Structure 1
Amino acid sequence: MTTQQRADILATLCADYTAFLGEFSADDLIDWVTLELQHDEALDAFVPYGDIRSKAVPLSPIVHVVSGNTPHAALQSILRGLLLGAKNIVKLPSSGLPEVEEFAGKLPAELQPLLTLSTRLDQATLSKAKAVVAIGSDEAIAAIHSRLSAHQRFIPHGHKLSIGLIEQPSTDAASKAARDIGLFKQQGCLSLHTVYVKESPQEFARMLATAMQRFEEENPRGPISISESGAISNLRETYRYHAAVEPENYLLLESKQGTAWTIIFENNARLVPSPLNRTVYVRPWPVDLGELGSETQYLSTIALDPLDELLEEVESLSPPRICSLGEGQQPPLIWHHDGFPPLSSLVSWRDIH
């Protein structure tokens, strides 16, 4: 099967998964191949490469170890492997992953041999992998890495979090931030944990509360576990006390019904992970970026409003991705996940000269 034929099939199939993968056509997929592999037929034949000819050979099989809270990351990884024409073995969490299982069930006969799902990953299968893409906690990724040999390509996507930075409060910025916080129940690495505001962060927190309530009404978060709900309730009580004692430095804003959303203003720039499920901090932006603390090493995305005016403020933090506020959870098809080129990382090259 040619790259064009796979692109045609995948574009049609993925039209039902735009919430996870975004919108794209077969031409977009071919343009992506051309961008990363320098030729639209690089996977099909030897093509000019400087003064020699080369062919891209997909690393196959690719083992994808995916987590239960990020179906979008799992589907993105699978799409890349299928587009390249590699065989893909997906290790699902023990509880399964409905979105991925549904996707696999819709694959036409031509692509079915390229995708296998399993809730177990034995050493024999792992040892045969030419490449392993691992999505999960740092501990889980380290355990997988320890089972691989030096010649296997390893692409880890471990603990990451994202932040926003806003010049000044506005209802438009609040609506965009609510989207970047609320999609996928804040479970993925692209979800905002903290929104920093250069001017009047408390004012912005109140605007964000209105936007979060509107987002919840239009996109209900849905049920979460007792432990997840308990973590949010405990955090609320801690900051309820702080807000009563030091109202100038703390503010708690919360949904009236349950733990649907929570906003905490704290007059402290230190970045700390949120307990997720639409719980977010609003903080002032520091003059000294060292005040952000050690969690900046885990930054995935920084969403800015406005983008161009604030770009220089954050470049020294070296995040893999910077985008406009409101686009944090919907990266473009060709984005470099955690800095990795998603297609060219999964091929090797064969030369003729």
Structure 2
Amino acid sequence: MTTQQRADILATICADYTAFLGEFSADDLIDWVTLELQHDEALDAFVPYGDIRSKAVPLSPVVHVVSGNTPHAALQSILRGLLLGAENIVKLPSSGLPEVEEFAGKLPAELQPLLTLSPRLDQATLSKAKAVVAIGSDEAIAAIHSRLSAHQRFIPHGHKLSIGLIEQPSTDAATKAARDIGLFNQQGCLSLHTVYVKESPQEFARMLATAMQRFEEDNPRGPISVSESGAISNLRETYRYHAAVEPENYLLLESKQGTAWTIIFENNAHLVPSPLNRTVYVRPWPVDLSELGSETQYLSTIALEPLDELLEEVEPLSPPRICSLGEGQQPPLIWHHDGFPPLSSLVSWRDIH
């Protein structure tokens, strides 16, 4: 099967998964291959490469170890492997992943041999992998890495978090931030954990509360576990006390019903992960970026409003991705996930000269 034939099939199937993968056509997939591999037929034949000829060979099989709370990341990873024509073995979480299982069921007979789903990952399967893509906690990824040889390509996607930075409060900025916080309930590396505001962060926190309530009404969060709900409730009580003692430095804003959303204004810049499920901090932006703390080493995305005016502010943090506020959860098809080129990372090359 040629790259074009795979692209045609995948574009049709993925049209049912735009919430996870975005919208794209078969031509977009071919353009992506061309962008990363320098030729639209690089996977099908030897093509000109400077003054020699080269062919891209997919690393196969690729083992994808995916997490249960990020079906969008799993589907993105699988799409990349299938587009390249590699055999893909997906280690599902013990609870399963309905979106991935449904996707696999829609593959036509020509592509079905390229995708295998399994709740287990034995050493024999892992040892035969030419590449391993791992999505999960740093501890889980380290455990997988320890089982690999030096000759296997390893692409880890571990603990990451994202932040926003806003020049000044506005209703529009609050609406965009609510989207970047609320989509997927912060169950992924692109979710905002903190929104920094250069001017009047407390004022923005109140605007964000209104926007989060509207987002909740249009996109209900859904049920969460007792432990997840308990973590949010405990955090709320801690900051309720702080806000009562130091109202100039703390503000707690919360949904009236349950733990649907929570906003905490804290008058210091130190970045900490939130307990997720639409819980976010609003903080002032520091003059000295060291005040952000060590968590910045895990930054995935910084969403800016406005983008061009704030680029120089965040460039010293060297995040893998910077985007406009409101687009944090929907990266383009060709983005470099955690800095990795997603297609060219999964091929090797053969040369003729």
- Structure 1 length normalisation: TM-score? 1.00
| Partners of 2:301 and 2:101 in 1: CA distance | 28
Flag structure 2 segments of 5+ consecutive residues without an equivalent. Answer: none
Classify the secondary structure of the residue corresponding to 1:339: coil
Q: Distance in 1 between matches of 2:6 and 2:332?
A: 20
SS for the counterpart of 2:117 is: strand
Q: Give 3-state SS (helix, strand or coil) of 1:291's partner.
A: helix
Q: Distance in 2 between matches of 1:7 and 1:101?
A: 20
Give the C-alpha shift of residue 116 in structure 1: 0.2
- 2:74 and 2:185 mapped to 1: Cα distance? 16
What are structure 1's unaligned runs of at least 5 residues? none
Cα distance in 2 between the residues matched to 1:103 and 1:211: 33
Query: 1:326 offset after TM fit, Å?
Result: 0.1
CA distance in 1, matches of 2:75, 2:96: 14
Secondary structure in 2 matching 1:281: strand
Q: Distance in 2 between matches of 1:102 and 1:256?
A: 36
TM-fit CA distance, 1:244: 0.4
Aligned residues: 353
TM score, norm. by length of structure 2: 1.00
**Residue number in structure 2 paired with 1:270:** 270
SS at match of 1:17: helix
1:329 and 1:267 map into 2 onto residues whose CA distance is: 26
Secondary structure of residue in 2 paired with 1:90: strand
Deviation at 1:345, TM superposition (A): 0.1
State the Cα deviation string for residues 128-183 of structure 1 (Å, max 9, x = none): 00000000000000000000000000000000000000000000000000000000
After superposition, give the CA deviation of every residue in 1:227-268 in whole Å (9 maximum; x if it has no partner): 000000000000000000000000000000000000000001
1:286 pairs with 2:286: yes
Q: Distance in 2 between matches of 1:187 and 1:10?
A: 25
Alignment RMSD (CA, Å):
0.2
Identity of matched residues, %: 97
Aligned partners of 1:81, 1:275: CA distance in 2, in Å? 32
Moved over 3 A (4+): none
Matches of 1:108 and 1:21 in 2, distance apart?
19
In structure 1, C-alpha distance between the alignment counterparts of 2:37 and 2:105, rounded to whole Å:
30
Give me the whole-angstrom Cα distance separating, in 2, the residues matched to 1:2 and 1:107.
Answer: 16
Q: Matches of 1:223 and 1:101 in 2, distance apart? A: 22
Tell me, in whole angstroms, the C-alpha distance in 1 between the residues paired with 2:22 and 2:292: 32
Partner of 2:189: 189
SS of the equivalent of 1:338 reads: coil
SS in structure 1 at match of 2:164 = strand
Deviation at 1:91, TM superposition (A): 0.1
| Superposition deviation, residue 189 in structure 1 | 0.3
Residue equivalent to 2:138: 138
TM superposition shift of 1:342: 0.2
Show CA shifts across 1:304-349 (max 9, x none): 0000000000001010000000000000000000000000000000
1:308 matched to 2:294? no
> How big is the shift at 1:34?
0.1
Report the equivalent of 1:105.
Answer: 105
Alpha-carbon distance, 1:19 to partner: 0.2
What displacement does 1:57 show? 0.1
Q: Identify the residue that residue 299 of structure 1 maps to in structure 2.
A: 299
Aligned to 1:15: 15
Deviation at 1:60, TM superposition (A): 0.1
Inter-partner Cα distance in structure 2 for 1:102 and 1:238: 42
Q: Distance in 2 between matches of 1:129 and 1:211?
A: 46
How far apart, CA to CA, are the structure 1 residues paired with 2:194 and 2:27?
Answer: 37
